[in-house]
Structure 1
Amino acid sequence: MINEIDAVLLLDGRRSIEQLLAFTRQPDRESALQALAEGIQANPLWHKLDGARLVIRAWPHPLVAAFGDFSTQQRLLLADLAAQLHEVIPHHRYVDYSAAEQAAERLATALRLRFGQEALSRFHYTAIPRGGWIVLGMLSYLLNLHPEQIGAPGPSGHDSQETWVVVDDCALSGVRFQQFLQRWNLPVVIFCPLFAPRELCLAIERAEPRVEACINAEDLEDVAPVRFGEAYPQWLDERERQMAGDGYWNGIAEYIAFAWCEPETKYWDVEAGCFKAGWNVLPPSLCLKRRMQASSQRSRRNGRARGLARGSARGQAWETIDRQAVGPGPLKADDRVLWASFGASLAVAHFPMEATEPTTCFEFDAIAADMWRALLSTGSLKEAVSLLLENYVVAPEMLRQDLASLMAELEESGIMIQH
């Protein structure tokens, strides 16, 4: 047994089973973990982890882990994913179509109170693609807008006397709205993100003379002060340097996702010195955009697997999510153990109870891997020997001694336990 394969624990669900069910909107932990794993695999970032395996275990406590030969940068990305999952699952805001309609009603009310129905009937309306158009569709019915009021602005300067209401489903830093203003030369703009931090709306009004008002339906909380604690001032200085004028606000808005999309996340790539697309974690079953992403990634994965040699470990690694059962016992894998196949070999990881402690990960050769599977599937030394003798031509006593030696080593290391 040698330490070669990396194992990164992405989710430890000891204290958050009900939160996991609420986040995935699934009825049981097996379905919830499957939905969460499908959401992870729908990320382009996941498929850059060539040959990685995603492993889930539902009992006795939900566990999700990634196995593979990871670079330092890839381990950092997986650590970011783990931190994101542990933060998002207990603190998430999911907006389905019904909730979006209710928020759109609040936005329509706020617009009427600020400008009056007569003025609203003279304004022109557009949206920031693509979620903004969904919200604008709802808003158009609530405000009884005419079709000619809705559309894209004309050429630069053509609409110089018009007031334009720009709608979006959410604004997290204001980058997309900033890009909109740079593209269209409109003198009077009212920006209406359905969800946005109040600080962001105020910052836009201060920074943009063309913006008469920035009105949202509901505020999003800034989670950065709590996330970084005493290190928040230092983080904020670094954040301002990284943003370098992109957007209007440097906080971190609470996680929000819609039935049609999950806003893209970003991470700071130290080597490239810029932000890049980060992880999305919403299950594809809850989000139209994520379902399309999952379908696209699945097609690419299957195409790549077909292009590799039949039976290749790399090809197989792109195909499945490993769902691990407890086994019949009394000999079982410890509650904190997960494993993944890489061709004929096997990686077995023992995750500590405390995240600060190191993870022990071993690689078994083909024979040791078969022994491991036999011990798990039968739960006893005697039955494991009988099962292995069906496939190995070896003296029964020699096989029993070798298997007993491996079992003793596994029990001593805490990987296997006797109930």
Structure 2
Amino acid sequence: MRTRKSETELPRFGEAEALRLDAADPGHRHLFHVPPADGGRHPESAYLAGNSLGLQPRATRDELLADLDAWGRLGVEGHLEAERPWLPYHELLTAPAARLVGALPTETVVMNSLTVNLHLLMVSFYRPTGTRTRIVIEDSAFPSDSYAVRSQARFHGLDPDTTVVRLTPRPGEDTLRTEDVTAFLAAEGDTVALVMLGGVNYLTGELMDIPAITAAGRAAGAVVGWDLAHAAGNVPLSLHEWDVDFAAWCSYKYLNSGPGALGGVFVHERHHGEPDLPRFEGWWSTAAATRFEMTPVSRPPSTVEAWQISNPPIFSMGPVRTSLELFDSVGMPALRDRSLRLTGYLERLLDEVTADRPLTVITPRDPGRRGCQLSVRLGEGSARELTKRLRYEHGVIADAREPDVVRFAPVPLYSTYHDCWRVADALAATVGRAG
């Protein structure tokens, strides 16, 4: 990588144009805390790492302190007497979470963390039998998903190297084609017990065709689940309508609920109350109306709440509730529309930067096949070293995925067109032209 020698080498992006677009299409940046810039001439960071950790909503602190104050004032009585009573607290999150992912309230619950939830769901929905044993994931799945499915295979006495099928793009391509996934399921689906892909790929930003792949998997006789870590709060979802069997997501990325925040679970209503479906249980798995009878045998409800185990952590639920209220207020259709405009603008800027530099955008160009992320592959140098320079020299915060991918996520809630302009400006200043 070489630093440019002259300001005249910068492409003519037009900072004034970025500022004009922000005035016309402002988003909701004022509702969030934006980290200060470590470098450059701007007071705030251009924060494009919301696909790794979302920014803190300004409302979160006061809402969380109110829950803490209830504990201080009421002690144990806060379970029933707090302004937001703790006993049914998780129910405050159910309806907005259901709206976010396109589900019925009875199909949606906020609990645990993402990989814990995936394991709890696979206890129920990965049931290998006979020759139908394989688990299908994408080759570029997030490592925790790979670890989870491999450990599930071992748990059932199977060899993970032959049980887990990792679908790869065609030679010379970076993303999966829907027709290749569905063709595999049509040809070999009778050996597949579970399809579990990422709704939006964490590395490339590709939005998978969830309804088409779900239909193909179920037609092949497999159960179809989705990891929506990079999809929830990023793209519109209709899990119930798409006939998805199950899904899980986290809330610390696009849902801005804080590091390690609670995740969410969807189980289609057709699976509710199935008597032969195995499931781990705990105190919160039994029906709420009979929970305090303290009986030795669980009586689970015919809803997704049967998959709950422990009583909910109130101080972890508060930030999720605050965030979901924000999504309800703004609405996913409006956010998706702004996402398309903002990501498209960044793409046009990156086209100019990458034209004569050793950089390649590997995210699909079709706006319908991506969320609010553009991933750039470096032809030389380290992704981590580049993101350090972007941050400390230009105040641009992006995310490195070693060895050679840098991810930029213009999040429609709080990112700006000027942030996008700063990304392009910083890349042009930091990465030397090819040749």
What TM-score results when the alignment is normalised by the length of structure 1?
A: 0.31
What TM-score results when the alignment is normalised by the length of structure 2?
A: 0.30
Tell me which structure has the larger Cα radius of gyration: 1
- If asked which structure has higher relative contact order (CA below 8 Å, sep 6+), I would say 2
